Amino acid sequence: MNKGILERVDLLLIIVTLAVIVSGLIAIFSATYTSGTDYFTKQLIFAIAGIVMMIFISYIPPRHIAKASYILYFISLILLVLVLFFGKKISGSKSWFSIGSFGIQPSEFAKIATVLALANFLSKSEEGFRNINRIPDFLKACAIVLIPVALIMRQPDMGTSLVFVSMILPVLFWVGLSPFALFCILSPVIAVIGAFLGVNYFIGSLVLIGIILLIFKRNVFLSAGALVLNIIIGYSVDILYNKLMPYQQARIKAVFNPETDPLGSGYNVIQSKVAIGSGGLTGKGFLQGTQTQLKFIPEQWTDFIYCMIGEEFGFIGSVTILILYMIIILKLVSNANVTKNNFLSAACIGFASIILFHLVINVGMTIGIMPVIGIPLPMMSYGISSLISFLVMIGIGMSAYRYRNQY
């Protein structure tokens, strides 16, 4: 009997997810303690609703989810278009529909729909995954992800757009994209960063790309083409950058070096480093964080929630949270491996990479090793749309475990 439950239910994933949600609630309670807001109550209600939803979704057989995936994808595209016209503008981005006192962010649901549509596309084949090394299929797969990205960039919401882009490589890698192609996609990123840092860095990054291309020993024209493309991309970035207004340039500079913007992002990074660092080994204790309680960091129940954990629960608390997230991510990858269902396998990798990207950017930003990009910490930051969407992802991940023997 007991063994039967473990066979069907991904208990580890449930327990760890609950642990993360509870930690998040504690953090939001503390962060909003003196602010007189009702974020804690709202988050609590929607966490309970989300968990029920997660368990319900884990029971849905994969073929139903697969069948619905394209429809969900098109609905979410329509919502992303509508939000550009009817959305509410909050801190500069039109990414919300407001319903009463709640805001709904269609881009959060588009994340799930896009992963499902991509997974469905990639699994439409009799023997294993679709051959993604065929250029038409590769381009179609990319288009599935880049269409919502284009819409989200119109809002404009840079952080969320990057989340979508971040899942392309891991998923394609998982379904069999060749390492050479993988590198060809990755290398422009290196070139762009090099171009931003200066001429010497740009040349250095081009040399590095050239050497790696040689190691692959592929067709000379193909390799040379990849290199030329990188040079063009690097230069066009430079030209585009110089066409920007000074304040826009300053904003980009601040991403690479927060100290240049002490009032904006730089201020938050300095304060959040102080908050986390002052936590020490065991932290100052619940509700005792002076940095948190004195609100040196504005709205820290959203993107800067992790520094509250760091300050009040110290190194032990911070590391525990990181380990919990890693368990969720690795369990999703592991489910992707054990399931015989190609659709859910690809979907789990998509969800795992989305959670990983959120974690790396958000935590990295609060501890000062990543640029300040405003995306939430999964299931911990205050935000109803985001909370529900992550719980749905995990619910689908659980269904991959439950139905792992169904093709």
Partner 1 sequence: MDLDKKKYIIFVICLSILALFIIRLAYLQLFTSDELTKESDKNSIKTITVTPPRGIMYDRNGNILVDNKPSYTVTITPNQFDKNILEEISSVLELSADTLAMTLKNIKGTNRFNPAKVKRDVDFKVISFIAENRDRLNGVDYQVEATRFYPNNFRGSHSFGYCNEISPKQLEKQIGDYYKQGDMIGANGLESNYENHLRGVKGYKFITVDVKGREIGSLNEGRSDIAPVNGTDLILGMDRDLQELAEKLIYGKQGAIIAVDPRNGEILCFVSKPDFDLSAFSGKTDSKIFSNLLTDPQKPLFNRVIQTKYPPGSTWKMMMSLAALEAGIITTTSTISCPGSFVFGNRSFADHGAYGSINVVRALEVSANVFYYKLGLQVGIDNYHKYSKMFGFGTKTGIDIPNETSGLLPSREYFDKRYGENKWTQGLLVSLGIGQGELGVSPVQMVAYTAAIAMNGLYCQPHFVSKIKNSMNNEEEIVKYEQRRIDLPLKYYEAVKKGMYLVVNGNGTAASIKSEEIVLSGKTGTAQNSSGKNHSWFVGFAPFDDPRIAICVLGEFEGWGSSFGAPTAAALMLKYLGASVNETDPEVKSVGDNHYD
The answer to whether 281 contacts partner 1 (rule: CB under 8 A) is: yes
**Which window, 31-39, 55-63, 130-138, 160-168, contacts partner 1 (CB under 8 A)?**
31-39
In the stretch 121-160, what mask flags binding to partner 1 with x, by CB under 8 A? ----------------------------------------
The answer to whether 378 contacts partner 1 (rule: CB under 8 A) is: no
- Containing 310, the helix (H) or strand (E) segment is helix 305-338
For the record, the structure tokens of 292 come out as 């948190």
What angle (nearest 5°) sits at the alpha carbon of residue 359, between those of residues 50 and 253?
Answer: 130
Bridge-based pairing of strands 88-90 and 93-99 is antiparallel
- Residue 340 is classified by DSSP as S
The torsion angles phi and psi of 155, rounded to 5 degrees, stand at -65, -40
For the record, the structure tokens of 134 come out as 């065929």
**Which window, 12-20, 67-75, 81-89, 170-178, contacts partner 1 (CB under 8 A)?**
170-178
**Residues 87 and 155: beta-carbon distance below 8 Å:** yes
Among 19, 97, 296, 373, binds partner 1 (CB under 8 A): 296
Among 53, 270, 287, 373, binds partner 1 (CB under 8 A): 270
**Which window, 13-21, 96-104, 156-164, 306-314, contacts partner 1 (CB under 8 A)?**
306-314
How big, in percent rounded to 5, are the helix, strand and coil portions of the chain?
A: 75, 5, 25
Token pair 């990479």 in the structure block, residue: 353
The answer to whether 58 contacts partner 1 (rule: CB under 8 A) is: no
Min dist CB 241 to partner 1, Å, is 24
Which among 370, 371, 367, 339 is positioned nearest to 352, based on CA atoms? Answer: 339
- Specify the residue, 107 or 334, whose C-beta has the smaller distance to partner 1: 334
**Residues 348 and 336: beta-carbon distance below 8 Å:** yes
Min dist CB 273 to partner 1, Å, is 6
The answer to whether 309 contacts partner 1 (rule: CB under 8 A) is: no
**What burial letters (b/e) apply to 251-262, b meaning 16+ CB within 10 Å?**
eeebbeebeebe
Chain residues in the site for partner 1 (CB under 8 A): 34-36, 170, 173-174, 176, 259, 262-263, 267, 270-271, 273-281, 290-291, 294-296, 298, 310-311, 314-315, 318-319, 322-323, 326, 329-330, 333-334, 336-337, 345, 352, 356, 360, 363-364, 367-369
